[in-house]
Amino acid sequence: MNASALAAVVPCWSCKGPVASRALFCSVCGAVQGPGAIDHFTRLGMTPTFDLDMDALERQYFGFQRRLHPDRFASKSGKEKALSQAQATSLNDAYETLKDPMKRAAYLLTLLGHPVDLTACGTINDRALLMEQMEKREALADATTPEQVAKLAVEAESEVIACQCHISAAFNAADLDGAGHLCIRLKYLAKLAEEARAKKSRITRMP
């Protein structure tokens, strides 16, 4: 308790007085503080969960950027400019990670001490996944009419959404192994959906 209380107070770089280590601005002199090492959820003022309210996340992100973006510090001292850049960089990192379901799931798994390697594809389980993906990819390559491609794009999209629901369920059931596997599955599904979308916009012409 005492140790954490101690860690919670650091000297403000500007007025040298005590400031909460997680504070954005010094409550005494108003100077912007460094971003500190906090997790992405805390940084954006969100509760760590897979089921994030996306509108709330975006509101928080814009709200923090409004206060911390380098554009707010253009006529401040060099040190304040540098700190605001560091803050805005951390906010971008946090937001880009949390807004993407796959990255969010992987990040949450890391936070929970159960990291997943998204580059892995060696297990039997994954081989089945690869087979399934190969078939779907072939179907997409063979599709020639806009209708066929559109249909595949819709299918891919709904599989992505279904997978996200399963991930959510896995997290809620504290099944971190399951969430990890689904996370890898989501990676492939999302890639396929993106390719389908790209092909769709390539072959669909506006009237």
How many CB atoms are closer than 10 A to CB 157? 17
**In whole angstroms, what is the distance from residue 68 CA to residue 77 CA?**
14
Cβ nearer to other proteins, comparing 43 with 136: 43
Residues that bind other proteins (CB under 8 A): 1-2, 5-6, 8-9, 11-12, 14-20, 22-32, 42, 44-45, 59-67, 69-80, 84-85, 88-89, 92-93, 95-96, 197-198, 201-202, 206-207
19: three-class secondary structure by DSSP: strand
What minimum distance in Å lies between the beta carbon of 201 and Zn ion?
Answer: 51
**In whole angstroms, what is the distance from residue 114 CA to residue 109 CA?**
5
How many CB atoms are closer than 10 A to CB 162? 12
What minimum distance in Å lies between the beta carbon of 4 and other proteins?
Answer: 9
**In whole angstroms, what is the distance from residue 121 CA to residue 126 CA?**
6
Cβ nearer to other proteins, comparing 123 with 158: 158
Q: Which stretch binds Zn ion (CB under 5 A): 6-14, 114-122, 175-183, 185-193?
A: 6-14
Contacts of 119 (CB under 8 A, 6+ apart): none
**In whole angstroms, what is the distance from residue 192 CA to residue 160 CA?**
9
What minimum distance in Å lies between the beta carbon of 156 and other proteins?
Answer: 14
Among 14, 33, 84, 87, binds Zn ion (CB under 5 A): 14
Could you say which of other proteins, Zn ion, none residue 66 binds, taking C-beta under 5 to 8 angstroms by partner kind?
Answer: other proteins
Residue 15 lies near Zn ion (rule: CB under 5 A): yes
Q: CA quadruple 41, 44, 46, 51: dihedral positive or negative? A: negative
Q: Which stretch binds Zn ion (CB under 5 A): 24-32, 140-148, 150-158, 169-177?
A: 24-32
List, in sequence order, the alpha helices (H) in the chain. 2-7, 40-43, 54-68, 78-99, 101-111, 124-142, 146-172, 176-203
Residue 44 lies near Zn ion (rule: CB under 5 A): no
Residue 160 lies near Zn ion (rule: CB under 5 A): no
Residue 9 lies near Zn ion (rule: CB under 5 A): no
User: Which residues of the chain form contacts with Zn ion (CB under 5 A)?
Assistant: 12, 14-15, 26, 28-29, 31
